[in-house]
Amino acid sequence: MSAETLRTPGAAFTRGHVHAVAGCYFVASFAALGLPPYLTEILPELGDRHARWAGVLYVVPTVFGALGAPLWGRLADRHGRKRLLLRAQLGLAVAFLLAGWADSLATFTVALVLQGILGGTFAASNGYLGAALEGPALSRALTLMQGSARAALVVAPIVVGSLSGWLSPHRQYALLAVLPLTAALLLAALPEPEPAARESGKTPETTGVLEPPVISLKALYALEFAFVFATVISFPYLIALVDDRLPGTSPTLSGVLFALPHLCYLVSALAVHSAFHSRPRTGITLGFACIALGLAGHGIADTLPTLIAVRLLLGAGLTLGLVCLSVLAADCAKGRAPGGMFGSLEFFSKAGAVAAGVAAAAGSARFGPAAPVLTGSAAAAVTVLATVLPPLTPRTRRSR
């Protein structure tokens, strides 16, 4: 990656630095991603005998993370991206410690609120990378960050479940607080990123003009919201759908079916990036089309082979969408303060997740476990049409 190494005053930002940021996000996200599925076991210990608040508390960190992300992003641009990334890791550690030692539902809820407000490690990591990388180097780094998130989503619940025989999921919050603390120590050794010197004398600083992005920033935010909504809406009730279609399915097989789309990303993301980094609009359109078809297929799949097939089709859409959104985000980041942009992008991502959770709960309660996947399919189909409309492409150059 020597050609993509970005020189900063007194330091070089290398592939190793990118891997370190992604690795730190992976370990720090264990509790955030691995413990929420066990809220139905945690809440009875705190007085909520029937875990009635599980659904609400599941989205509390997401809601408050969405509200805080734009502010933290702007502060990162003003006071330093490394400093704010360290703040996010330490904030997670504080929230996890409080959650692990909480002895009441109210204290536990406060801990989850603090997790959302003080966390935001994904947006902070992307802002940090966006300050030092640009173009294909940045989009590859963002693709790697998404891979880190997918890996944590697959591995963390398994690890938490394995540890639960020795330590309850509730107390694991306190144990896993050591992970963001460790990540903060590792990140402290990384350099403060600075924009790379551009080749030749024609730079944005000298010309004041940048080439227009492939899509507008508003369109990027809309696509992020739609993508997260269409994919996340299928998560909460997938196990119930599998049980409905294949009675007697083992929890292990249900877990494998849940993980299949994320495993697709881990296996093929870099290859998809190589194929579509120069044509992200085509990729994002194909991605939404695969999501629409894959989710629609969930509505009629009633055998194990067909469920595997539609999960893999959804995985193809998930991979295309995430990779091409990373490419489009890297393109939009040129000439912009990365902290503010990625903070705002995280707001729309989390807003999509919250909307998906609400829609999934309402649809499943009224129409059964197939309703969320069909709603997601319809949303993805509408977005396919939107991606080919001219307003997605800016007609004017942007100036700094």
Q: What is the pLDDT of residues 279-316, one digit of tens each?
A: 999 999 999 999 999 999 998 888 999 999 999 999 99
Q: Please give the pLDDT value at position 201.
A: 41
**For residues 288 and 30, what is the distance between their CA atoms, to the nearest angstrom?**
28
**For residues 139 and 328, what is the distance between their CA atoms, to the nearest angstrom?**
8
Yes or no: say if 380 and 292 are a contact pair by the CB < 8 Å rule: yes
Nearest to 283 by CA among 295, 271, 294, 297: 271
The band of 210, judged by pLDDT with boundaries at 50, 70 and 90, is low
pLDDT per residue over 67-87, tens digit each? 888 888 888 888 888 988 999
Which helix (H) or strand (E) segment is 6 a member of?
A: strand 6-8
Portion of the chain with pLDDT greater than 90, in percent: 45
Residue range 326-352: mean pLDDT, rounded: 90
The pTM for the full model equals: 0.82
Yes or no: say if 303 and 176 are a contact pair by the CB < 8 Å rule: no
To the nearest 5 percent, what fractions of the chain are helix, strand and coil?
75, 0, 20
Residue range 327-337: mean pLDDT, rounded: 89
Has residue 179 got a pLDDT over 50? Answer: yes
- Maximum CA pair distance of the chain? 67
Lowest mean pLDDT among 41-55, 92-106, 382-396: 382-396
Lowest mean pLDDT among 186-195, 202-211, 340-349: 202-211
Q: Please give the pLDDT value at position 229.
A: 95
Higher per-residue confidence, 52 vs 115: 115
